[in-house]
Structure 1
Amino acid sequence: MKIVVNDHSGHAFTLQLSRQFVQSGHEVLHAYSVSFQSPKGNFEDLPVDGNRLTVLPIMIKGKFDKYSLLKRRKQEIEYARQLIDKMEAFKPNVVLSGTTPLFVQQHVQRYCISKGIKFVYWCQDIYAVAIRQIARRRLGFFSFPIWYYFKRLEINLLKKSSHVISITQDFNHLFRKWKIHPNLVTCIPNWAPIREITLMDKNNQWARQHQVMDKTCIIYSGTLGLKHNPAMLSAAAAYFSKHKDVVFIVISEGLGAAFLQKEKEQQQLDNLLLLPFQHFRDMSQVLGAADILLGILENDAGIYSVPSKVLTYLCAQKPIVLAIPPSNLSAAIVLENKAGYCTAPDDHQGFCHHIEKLVADASLRKEMGYNGRSYAEKHFDIHHIENKFLQVFEAIGN
């Protein structure tokens, strides 16, 4: 089978899936955006898989402008055209496309329909809900036409797909409201590439490089966009500012990172270390240096987004403290498996108290870390996950 995996963000777990398809004898074209600001998988150290894996890093003109509707639309269409050009020569049987903006999905899906290629919409987020919240903040009442346009676009894309793979059952109520037939949808939860995350000692090369090997390290790694409140992180750093042996490390770029840089300077947060996205090959060392891992997500984002960073955290065998809606799938996993704590997104005090409890109790950190790793070992088997995708591909191909 010839498969296109299009992951605009360039995640590590989607690259793992493509490599697994190749190991099972399939030919894969894996596309991602070089221009989009996000943590990337390790695309540089790929083994030679008999030339059956083609990686397509797509570079658009200029920096990807995610907050400008007109510029973004033009850039997304440029991305889609580059991908379609490669697909024209590759001639896939099926296209799996996720973490991908709607205009890209629209153009790629249209091409697939015209060529008789099966298009599988990998639904990682509900964009219409996110756009509605963001547009309301910026435009108030005048946001309705914009939101309605994107809502109709997203619904039509889902309905026209050969199949929809959803990452959580929580999306089902919206699919029913949008009259998307249940037989069109299969739920395959996200995972993290556990085999690529080696458990490492705290005193490793990365920790020594940043001089944190003798500190209690509290780490946040991932995007900080409009669905995150970075003030939770600066407030936590301020709360622990008198603890000289505690350091907060935030690994991110963009708006949230810029906000934290200002907070660091204004509040003189010497215990807040800000770093750009780290290469995935260093992620095991980053996570090894951590004592506690953090995740945040705004209330209005909880129904359409499942933070994949939490799944990576589980592999690290470290406790997790979340400030996200408790109904979110990631929160449910952490709480049900006793892998950490979760508080409401605006509960600064509760967030800090959970961190404080773990800072003071090394045995509790160890216990919760083991619980998280056990969940990951049980649920992140790439062979089992691959089979779920292949079953969908085979069903729609018949």
Structure 2
Amino acid sequence: MRILILSEAFPPETKSASTLFFELAESLVKRGHEVSVITRMPRYNVADGTDLSGIPAREKLSGVEVRRLRTPPLARTIPLIRGFEHFILGWIFFWGGLFSGRPDIILVYSPPLPLGVTGFWLGKIKRAPVVVNIQDLYPQTVIDLGLLKNKLLIDVSRRMEKFIYRKSDAITVHSSGNQEYVRSHGASGNLVEVVHNWVDIDEIKPSPRDNDFSRKHGLKEKFVISFAGVMGFAQGLEVVVGAAEILKGEKNIQFVLVGDGVKKGELEALAREKKLENVLFVPTQPLKIYPQILHASDLCLVTLRKDLATPVVPGKMLSIMAAGKPVVASMPLQGDAPKILAEFNCGLAARPDDPADLAAVIRKLYNDSSLRETMGKNGRHGAETAFSRENCVTIYEKIFNDALSRRK
């Protein structure tokens, strides 16, 4: 079948959204489908040293036709302007999709929320079913984080959210908690399906700690606690800096924070203010280096702020599991991610925004190599049995075929 994907992020951006949908598109091509992607020119979360001026507007990646559209360079650090950019993005993607070929099915990655509306209208015009993949529950997420307070904008966003839930031919979410939320906010129950975010278990697997990344940054003799990903509002990485301050007496422990984001500058300033020599900031790395970061680590972090009440399973957690490393989570304990940690016994969760509790969890694992080894093996087993890429792609194919059948 001919599949059109709308996604704000795509390689060479390194965030989880771009990796996830590139891998999905690549796998669908390998199974005989024609896949085209409309995305924007990359600006954020690219590997340090990437020459953005040389990124082509059109190219073929692993058989996937990629079209990149130019969008206005607005300030991403101001939430209101970032929201305005999302509306502009939806309009630009609409025109890009309007003059593309007729697909059999349209798949939309959300957020940003307006892309769901774009998908609906393109589906109407192209007479194609629309499947929306909801990764983050907007606007609830930004309301919880205090980034959206204007009552009018909240009302507009809520109406848009319900419109998307009611008008989509199918909706996919990555956890049962997200499924319950979407159903309770207007989606037809039988059209909302859980497709876990996946990990490429052949690309990311247990490997020795000694590698180019660990040698370059002098980590070989250290007990490494890493975070690799977006340093934004939702992650609440101040808790990691706070835990590092508590543990600074443990001279062998080294925190390594890899990536970029709107909060990175503040985090670096906070670490300097506290004179923390046990916190190392590393720029965003190429995707091929990401497994080395995990391999070089003894513990790997996933974090979310306590006021983020919506259920979230960070994609990086599955990569950590696949690498055979214990997960240390700092996030709301009632969420879906801590449930996965408990189900597979592959990590420990600390209370969110609580540096002392995070430090206590780290210290427990630091002092128990047997527990670390057991949790690492359990995580790898969980990745292999429940979160493999091929299983999830098969589910997507079924969802596409079901949506097409309902249109006949």
Same fold (TM over 0.5): yes
- Gaps in structure 1 of 5+ consecutive residues: none
Q: Pick from 80, 84, 88: which aligns with 1:73?
A: 84
Residues 243-273 of structure 1 show CA distances to partners (whole Å, capped at 9, x for unaligned) of 2221100112123211211112111111100
Q: Pick from 226, 229, 248: which aligns with 2:255?
A: 248
Residues 186-237 of structure 1 show CA distances to partners (whole Å, capped at 9, x for unaligned) of 1112112222214321111111111111111100111222222222110111
Deviation at 1:8? 2.0
CA 1:61 to 1:148, structure 2 compared with 1: closer, same or farther past 3 Å?
closer
Structure 2 SS opposite 1:127: coil
88-97 vs 272-281, greater mean Cα deviation: 88-97
Deviation at 1:114? 2.0
Kept in 1, the 8 Å contact 2:38–2:97? The answer is no
Is 1:178 paired with 2:182? no
Is 1:360 paired with 2:367? yes
Could you say which residue in structure 2 is the equivalent of 1:390? Answer: 397
Deviation at 1:361? 2.2
Deviation at 1:394? 0.7
Q: Pick from 125, 150, 171: which aligns with 1:114?
A: 125
Could you say which residue in structure 2 is the equivalent of 1:103? Answer: 114
Is 1:12 paired with 2:19? yes
367-376 vs 323-332, greater mean Cα deviation: 323-332
Residues 24-60 of structure 1 show CA distances to partners (whole Å, capped at 9, x for unaligned) of 10011134444453478x9x9xxx9997421334442
Identical amino acids, percent of aligned pairs: 23
Is 1:123 paired with 2:130? no
Could you say which residue in structure 2 is the equivalent of 1:296? Answer: 303
* In structure 1, C-alpha distance between the alignment counterparts of 2:86 and 2:310, rounded to whole Å: 27
The residue type paired with residue 148 of structure 1 is D
* In structure 2, C-alpha distance between the alignment counterparts of 1:190 and 1:264, rounded to whole Å: 33
CA 1:349 to 1:134, structure 2 compared with 1: closer, same or farther past 3 Å?
closer
CA 1:83 to 1:212, structure 2 compared with 1: closer, same or farther past 3 Å?
farther
Kept in 2, the 8 Å contact 1:231–1:260? The answer is yes
Could you say which residue in structure 2 is the equivalent of 1:351? Answer: 358
Structure 2 SS opposite 1:95: strand
Q: TM-score, normalised by structure 2?
A: 0.88
Could you say which residue in structure 1 is the equivalent of 2:198? Answer: 191
* In structure 1, C-alpha distance between the alignment counterparts of 2:277 and 2:245, rounded to whole Å: 9
Number of equivalent positions: 389
Kept in 1, the 8 Å contact 2:258–2:285? The answer is yes
Structure 2 SS opposite 1:377: helix
Kept in 1, the 8 Å contact 2:214–2:220? The answer is yes
Is 1:54 paired with 2:65? yes
* In structure 2, C-alpha distance between the alignment counterparts of 1:299 and 1:151, rounded to whole Å: 22
Give 1 or 2: higher helix fraction. 1
Kept in 1, the 8 Å contact 2:26–2:63? The answer is no
Deviation at 1:363? 2.2
Pairwise CA RMSD of aligned residues? 2.5
CA 1:109 to 1:345, structure 2 compared with 1: closer, same or farther past 3 Å?
same
Deviation at 1:150? 0.4
Q: TM-score, normalised by structure 1?
A: 0.90
Structure 1 SS opposite 2:340: helix
* In structure 1, C-alpha distance between the alignment counterparts of 2:195 and 2:86, rounded to whole Å: 30
Residues 106-129 of structure 1 show CA distances to partners (whole Å, capped at 9, x for unaligned) of 223212212212111111111021
Deviation at 1:305? 2.9
CA 1:299 to 1:337, structure 2 compared with 1: closer, same or farther past 3 Å?
same
